[in-house]
């Protein structure tokens, strides 16, 4: 085993490449590059140029994260020719019909296939349904390379668990699931990941098990949040504060601590659709998972309707109403606006002819226009009928009731606190939260 792939990587006689340098790929590439020789490959040359200058295009890492790394960034496939271990971390989005869009994954498999050699390893990290690696990706690797899976090259799957904006649960301190196509490959892949994951690895029995483990982590979370959202709708009808109920129930040792909210982003709101798609192919129509998705996807419209009702109840003409929506990103303290459900709140308000201004200290107005056709305003005016705090950005959490009053017409109006962060702190405004 002296010339095993792991030993050759350690001795810097072999190179590892990460394909797709986004939220997942760049951190893992940099971690590996502290120990072994790495090529960071991405199809987007502008992103590659930024990384060459120690800039993380996803705004998660600062320049110091690039220090001491043995890494070459490239958008040129020729730089992959002398690589022996490939890690694929490209996006796995859904299309307009909520079906898996495997284009980036199959594109990346094609790239790797073109440079694949006998003895090479390929590990997929992108979130997929069980069976995707073997049924969809490996055939592309074989077709492009002319090589035979298992005899000529090995494949594994190791899902990613990082959480954007979370400085506590990092790549190094969270156990990573790894899998391989045989005992030998599992061992080599596990050892290679152990180089960078201080918390160690969990060796899953098969690739499909590892794929399924990842998809259910997020499906479970999606469903738990959906239950909280449904409870919130019920409690709203019963005039009970949901967060008061959760606080009380949370004193029991086995009550799970989830809270209602908008479920956006490209993981929790997306991954369950990969599983339901695969289930459908297998002849099973998921009911529980799709119900959760339905509830969570409806929350933006629901929140907007509550705001509209409150504005009307204040005796105002809804067509003349002006609402400030605070927060546009898919979650707090990140700049990522992809699949943000705040846009559902905005669109529903606009459908009632409400004038909406949107602000966010983290998001880019240009990206918002590109993605949703609505930009951010630079500075809020002081004549709103209602404020919707849609995202818990740290900048908002420190605001006081007086700050919000200063933004409202005549210092009064409706205050929608989606996540209930100002519970008990608002006394003069018409307050509502999930």
Ligand X SMILES: NC(=O)c1ccc[n+]([C@@H]2O[C@H](COP(=O)([O-])OP(=O)(O)OC[C@H]3O[C@@H](n4cnc5c(N)ncnc54)[C@H](O)[C@@H]3O)[C@@H](O)[C@H]2O)c1
Provide the residue count of the chain. Answer: 434
The residue among 418, 420, 408, 419 whose CA lies nearest residue 428 is 408
> Which residue numbers are catalytic?
267
126/433 with CB nearer ligand X: 126
Q: Where does 165-241 have alpha helices with state H?
A: 183-194, 207-237
CA-to-CA distance for 385 and 283, rounded, in angstroms? 50
47/419 with CB nearer ligand X: 47
Burial class (CB in 10 A: 0-12, 13-18, 19+), 410: exposed
Q: Are 146 and 179 in contact (CB under 8 A)?
A: no
160/222 with CB nearer ligand X: 160
| DSSP-assigned letters across all residues of 265-277 | TTTTTTHHHHHHH
How far apart are the two ends of the chain, measured CA to CA in Å? Answer: 58
Instruction: Label each residue of 350-404 as H, E or C.
Output: HHCCCEEEEECCCCCHHHHHHHHCCCCCCCCCCCECEEEECCCCHHHHCCCHHHH
Q: How far is the CB of 126 from ligand X (least distance, A)?
A: 3
Antiparallel, parallel or unpaired: β 37-41 and 15-19: parallel
Q: Are 332 and 391 in contact (CB under 8 A)?
A: yes
Q: Are 121 and 188 in contact (CB under 8 A)?
A: yes
Q: Edge-to-edge strands of the sheet including 355-359? A: 355-359, 322-326, 386-389, 414-417, 430-433
262/324 with CB nearer ligand X: 262
CA-to-CA distance for 272 and 98, rounded, in angstroms? 10
Q: How far is the CB of 404 from ligand X (least distance, A)?
A: 31
42/417 with CB nearer ligand X: 42
Q: Are 26 and 17 in contact (CB under 8 A)?
A: no
Applying CB under 6 A, which residues contact ligand X? 19-25, 42-44, 47, 58, 89-92, 104, 107-108, 111, 125-127, 160, 162-164, 266-267
113/413 with CB nearer ligand X: 113
């Amino acid at each position: 085993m002296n010339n095993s792939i792991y030993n050759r990587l350690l001795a810097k006689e072999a190179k590892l490449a990460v394909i797709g340098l986004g939220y997942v790929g760049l951190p893992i590439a940099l971690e590996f590059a502290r120990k072994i020789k790495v090529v960071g490959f991405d199809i987007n040359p502008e992103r590659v140029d930024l990384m060459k200058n120690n800039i993380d295009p996803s705004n998660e890492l600062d320049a110091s994260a690039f220090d001491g790394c043995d890494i070459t960034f490239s958008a040129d496939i020729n730089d992959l020719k002398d690589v022996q271990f490939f890690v694929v971390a490209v996006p796995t989005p859904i299309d307009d019909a909520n079906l898996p869009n495997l284009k980036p994954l199959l594109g990346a498999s094609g790239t790797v296939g073109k440079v694949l050699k006998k003895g090479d390893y390929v590990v997929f990290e992108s979130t997929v349904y069980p069976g995707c690696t073997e049924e969809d990706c490996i055939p592309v690797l074989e077709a492009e390379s002319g090589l035979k899976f298992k005899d000529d090259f090995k494949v594994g799957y190791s899902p990613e668990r990082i959480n954007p904006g979370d400085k506590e649960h990092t790549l190094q301190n969270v156990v990573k699931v790894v899998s391989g196509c045989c005992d030998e490959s599992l061992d080599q892949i596990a050892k290679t990941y152990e180089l960078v994951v201080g918390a160690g690895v969990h060796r899953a029995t098969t690739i499909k098990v590892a794929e399924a483990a990842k998809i259910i982590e997020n499906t479970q979370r999606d469903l738990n949040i959906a239950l909280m959202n449904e409870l919130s709708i019920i409690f709203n009808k019963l005039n009970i504060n949901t967060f008061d109920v959760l606080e009380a129930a949370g004193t029991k040792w086995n009550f799970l601590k989830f809270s209602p909210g908008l479920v956006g982003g490209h993981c929790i709101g997306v991954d369950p659709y990969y599983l339901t798609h695969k289930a459908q192919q297998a002849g099973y129509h998921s009911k529980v998972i799709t119900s959760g998705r339905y509830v969570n996807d409806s929350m933006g419209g629901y929140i907007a309707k509550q705001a509209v009702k409150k504005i009307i109840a204040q005796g105002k003409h809804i067509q003349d109403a002006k609402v400030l929506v605070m927060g546009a990103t898919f979650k707090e303290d990140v700049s990522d606006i992809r699949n943000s459900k705040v846009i559902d709140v905005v669109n529903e308000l606009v459908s009632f002819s409400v004038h909406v201004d949107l602000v966010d200290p983290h998001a880019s107005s240009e990206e918002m226009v590109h993605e949703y056709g609505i930009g951010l305003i630079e500075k809020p005016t002081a004549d709103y009928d209602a404020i919707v705090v849609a995202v818990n950005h740290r900048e908002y959490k420190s605001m006081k009731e007086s700050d919000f009053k200063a933004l409202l017409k005549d210092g009064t109006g409706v205050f929608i606190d989606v996540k209930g962060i100002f519970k008990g702190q608002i006394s003069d405004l018409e307050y509502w939260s999930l």
